[in-house]
Chains A and B, each alone.
Chain A
């Protein structure tokens, strides 16, 4: 019978926030290039959070929705399902009026999740480098 710590570790392994394997496959196993793509992803996300901070002040829901759409492809490449859910929720809120506060909260929550995703990907990349 498994003890509790083993069960927790098993759960952690199953519930990945993101998965680098598809990107590694697309990069044909080229680790230098994987790192380059990871840097590009981080740049895109930084731009997203900077841009949406400005759009939120302007209450520009259309631009927020468009900015969210632009990061989808990158998030799909790293299979960051939770962040993709946030993008869907943000875009959905952007379709309705008087939702700026909700959108602001979703963006803030997504940023917290994003920081966890970055950490997870860094661990996965470190494991690749160690092989």
Chain B
């Protein structure tokens, strides 16, 4: 029996987190969700998810710092990373930064589209990021 893929969801907004986790679980994924960057870092000390969905609003305005941490820690740098944000401006800044973010989704997230994106990332054999 094939084991479920693990997704780490880092999102401060309770409604968004609940909805995203709900749809991903319905899609057959195991989801661990946290609403602050401290708990995310604690989780990552012992777990290695298959994909990370990170909101830019987590940790107040420090969402970008968490993303930078994920990219800089070698053990996580190869995990596919999807960013979600309500600010087109912040999304553009990230795209133009040295963080090499490959995919971002605007809030409110179209959950069907998110599941499709997640599936496409997790089904790819080669490295995404």
**CB <8 Å contact, B111 and A26:** yes
Q: Is B30 an interface residue (CB 8 A)?
A: no
In A6-32, which residues have CB < 8 Å from any B CB? 26-28
Question: Does the CB pair B111–A37 fall under 8 Å?
Answer: no
When A26-B19, A26-B23, A27-B22 are in contact, do A77 and B108 touch as well, CB less than 8 Å?
Answer: yes
The chain A residue with its CB closest to the CB of B87 is: A69
B19 adjacent to A44 (CB under 8 Å): no
A73 and B86 in contact, given A26-B23, A26-B111, A28-B26 (Cβ under 8 angstroms): yes
- Which B residues are CB-close (under 8 A) to A36? 18
Q: How many residues of A contact B (CB 8 A)?
A: 17
The answer to the question of B13 belonging to the interface, with a C-beta cut-off of 8 Å to chain A, is yes
Q: What is the number of residues of chain B that contact chain A, defined by CB distance less than 8 Å?
A: 15
> Which A residues are in CB contact (< 8 Å) with B12?
70
Please give, as numbers and ranges, the residues of chain A lying within 8 Å of B16 by CB-CB distance.
Answer: 73
User: A91-128 toward B: CB 8 Å interface, digit per residue (1/0)?
Assistant: 00000000000000000000000000000000000000
Interface residues of A in 59-80 (CB under 8 A from B): 69-70, 72-74, 76-77
Give complex CA distance A37, B18 in Å. 8
With contacts A26-B23, A28-B26 known, is A73 near B18, CB below 8 A? no
Residue-wise, chain B 100-111 has the 8 Å CB interface mask toward A (1 for contact) of: 000000011001
CB contacts (< 8 Å) of B14 on chain A: these are 40, 43-44
Nearest-CB residue, chain A, relative to B111: A26
Q: How far is the CA of A27 from the CA of B19 in the complex (A)?
A: 7
Please determine whether A33 and B15 come into contact, CB atoms closer than 8 angstroms. no
- The A-contacting residues of B in range 1-48, CB under 8 angstroms, are 12-16, 18-19, 22-23, 26
Whether B15 lies near A37 (C-beta < 8 A) is yes
Contact between chains at A44 and B111 (CB < 8 Å): no
- B19 near A37 with CB under 8 A, answer yes
CB pair A73 B108 closer than 8 Å: yes
Which residues does A use to contact B, with CB under 8 Å? 26-28, 33, 36-37, 40-41, 43-44, 69-70, 72-74, 76-77
Q: Can you list 26 A-B pairs with a CB-CB distance of less than 8 A? A: A26-B23, A26-B111, A27-B19, A28-B23, A28-B26, A33-B22, A36-B18, A37-B15, A37-B18, A37-B19, A40-B15, A40-B18, A43-B14, A44-B14, A44-B15, A69-B86, A70-B12, A70-B13, A70-B57, A72-B86, A73-B13, A73-B107, A73-B108, A74-B15, A77-B19, A77-B108
